[in-house]
């Protein structure tokens, strides 16, 4: 069967036949990406029917595969009791992530319908920043009091009546009765240790992160260790959860993707093609409208030098080259500053140091690029004055571009403006205006020799 064209039609046919077992079996045979692709082809009522037909565990697998904003829309279409059963089948961190996307009133209704313990855990996770240790941690871990013996711990693990796939099994955590973290025991050491030894006798000093640790700190912690999970503790040292390497890596990847979407004028994490066309158009147009104004400002420079451009029509060829090449250099500087901001290497107080570092690179690259473009102009027209105009303009504009690209993200961060959103338009507008102005001003000065 051709998955790309027939998956959603097959699901529709099973829904029409009202065959729950066939639906469950068919969805189980598909990969997560195939289920997600098919789900986006179904209409709202068909999506609701699929979720209502499946067991909460099977429905939770679908919810876990689709984007969180879309998952929230699916749950909002269900009765609160049904949504609550599905949410409870998700891993603890996913519960909080999906509920955070649900409307407040519906979220309260779902939480009220959940088991009290699960609802309390979800509420606590929702209180933490999404990309903090508390927001990323999971609750499924193994913890025992220090006085428990190896035999008792292994016996309890063996008899666990839970979905073991959710749990972090690399370490067992050793705590006091008040859940204060004392140490960790690698699982391999637990298996090989003498059965009558107590956990406090074989535990190791753990690496711990505070519940409010941000994504950058978590990334650095995992760079320093080979373990897959780091315990998360409160200010008082109480064990709250475990943050996994895979979740930190995914959060970093999502953040980079969100920053890229923001730089293109798309509200990160919100637009999907399942949204109404009018809503998608409105979101994009608000950004594009700003950009057209900025482009008109840049193009107006050309109108001021219409006589020069008319006299030397060859300049029209070099105007976009100067602005575009300078923009490329500036975007490289933006990318480096954004990366260093993310890693915590620089902050807004480092503007002058960053600027000087970029100036040195900009001088070298600007002269090199200017010489190449000047040589191309001379070979094409055989006019040394034209060659000098474009060479000096590109060299100067490259220096301006890297200065702007390197420092603007830091300045925007200082004033609590998202640099991923604003750096691009600011850089593009300035490099276009400066590039056009430099070429046309130098050309006007050199007009008798052109």
Cα→Cα distances 49→252, 314, 327, 392, Å: 35, 65, 51, 66
pTM of the model: 0.59
Specify the CATH architecture of the domain 277-449. Answer: Orthogonal Bundle (1.10)
Domain with CATH 3.10.580.10 in the chain: 136-254
Cβ-in-10-Å burial (0-12, 13-18, 19+) of 24 comes to: middle
**Three-class secondary structure of residue 314 per DSSP:** coil
Task: List beta partners, residue 168.
Answer: 141
Q: What is the largest CA-CA distance in the chain?
A: 97
Query: DSSP class of residue 149?
Result: B
Judge whether 314 and 381 are in contact, CB under 8 Å.
yes
**Which CATH number is 136-254 given?**
3.10.580.10
> In angstroms, what is the C-alpha Rg of the chain?
29
Domain with CATH 1.25.60.10 in the chain: 3-127
**Which pair of tokens denotes residue 325?**
């090449």
Query: How far apart (Å, rounded) are the C-alpha atoms in residues 53 and 28?
Result: 14
Torsion of Cα atoms, 196 then 199 then 201 then 206, to 10°:
160
Judge whether 62 and 38 are in contact, CB under 8 Å.
no
CA neighbours within 13 Å on the CB side: how many for 69? 9
Other beta carbons within 10 Å of 243: 28
Query: How far apart (Å, rounded) are the C-alpha atoms in residues 450 and 41?
Result: 61
Specify the CATH architecture of the domain 3-127. Answer: Alpha Horseshoe (1.25)
In order along its 450 residues, the chain shows pLDDT tens digits of 444 457 888 888 888 888 888 888 888 888 877 888 888 888 888 888 999 988 898 898 888 888 888 888 889 989 999 999 999 988 887 888 899 889 888 999 999 999 998 898 889 888 898 889 999 998 888 899 999 999 999 898 888 766 555 566 678 899 998 889 999 998 889 989 999 999 999 999 888 999 999 988 999 899 888 888 899 999 888 999 999 998 898 888 777 766 665 655 555 455 555 566 676 666 666 666 666 777 677 778 887 887 887 878 888 889 999 999 998 898 899 888 887 887 667 888 889 999 999 999 999 999 999 999 999 999 999 999 999 999 999 999 999 999 999 999 999 888 887 787 677 788 888 899 999 999 999 999 998 887
């Amino acid at each position: 069967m051709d998955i790309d064209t027939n998956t959603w039609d097959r699901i529709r046919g099973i829904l029409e036949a009202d065959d729950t077992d066939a639906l469950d079996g068919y969805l189980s045979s598909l990969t997560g990406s195939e289920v997600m692709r098919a789900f986006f082809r179904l209409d709202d009522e068909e999506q609701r029917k699929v979720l209502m037909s499946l067991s909460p565990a099977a429905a939770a697998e679908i919810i876990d595969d689709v984007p969180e904003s879309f998952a929230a829309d699916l749950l909002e279409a269900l009765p609160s009791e049904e949504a609550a059963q599905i949410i409870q089948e998700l891993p603890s961190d996913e519960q909080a992530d999906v509920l955070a996307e649900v409307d407040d009133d519906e979220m309260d209704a779902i939480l009220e319908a959940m088991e009290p313990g699960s609802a309390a855990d979800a509420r606590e996770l929702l209180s933490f920043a999404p990309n903090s240790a508390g927001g990323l941690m999971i609750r499924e871990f193994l913890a025992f009091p220090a006085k428990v013996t190896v035999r008792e711990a292994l016996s309890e693990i063996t008899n666990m009546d839970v979905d073991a796939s959710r749990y972090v099994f690399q370490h067992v955590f050793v705590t006091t009765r008040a859940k204060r973290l004392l140490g960790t025991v690698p699982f391999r050491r637990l298996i090989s240790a003498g059965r009558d030894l107590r956990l406090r006798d074989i535990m190791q000093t753990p690496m711990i992160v505070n519940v409010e640790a941000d994504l950058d700190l978590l990334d650095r912690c995992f760079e320093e260790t080979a373990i897959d999970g780091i315990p998360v503790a409160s200010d008082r040292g109480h064990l709250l959860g475990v943050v996994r390497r895979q979740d930190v890596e995914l959060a970093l990847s999502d953040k980079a993707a969100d920053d890229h979407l923001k730089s293109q004028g798309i509200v990160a994490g919100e637009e999907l093609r399942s949204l109404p066309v009018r809503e998608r158009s409105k979101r994009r147009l608000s950004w594009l409208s700003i950009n057209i104004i900025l482009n008109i400002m840049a193009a107006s420079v050309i109108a001021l030098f219409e006589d020069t451009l008319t006299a030397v029509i060859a300049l029209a060829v070099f105007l976009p080259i100067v602005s575009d090449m300078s923009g490329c250099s500036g975007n490289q500087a933006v990318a480096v500053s954004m990366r260093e901001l993310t890693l915590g290497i620089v902050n807004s107080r480092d503007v002058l140091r960053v600027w000087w570092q970029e100036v040195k690179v900009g001088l070298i690259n600007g002269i090199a690029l200017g010489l190449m473009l000047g040589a191309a102009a001379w070979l094409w027209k055989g006019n040394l004055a034209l060659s000098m105009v474009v060479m000096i303009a590109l060299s100067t504009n490259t220096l301006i571009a890297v200065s702007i690209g390197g420092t603007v993200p830091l300045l925007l961060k200082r004033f609590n403006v998202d640099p991923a959103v604003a750096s691009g338009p600011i850089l593009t507008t300035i490099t276009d205006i400066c590039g056009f102005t430099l070429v046309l001003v130098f050309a006007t000065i050199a007009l008798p020799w052109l």
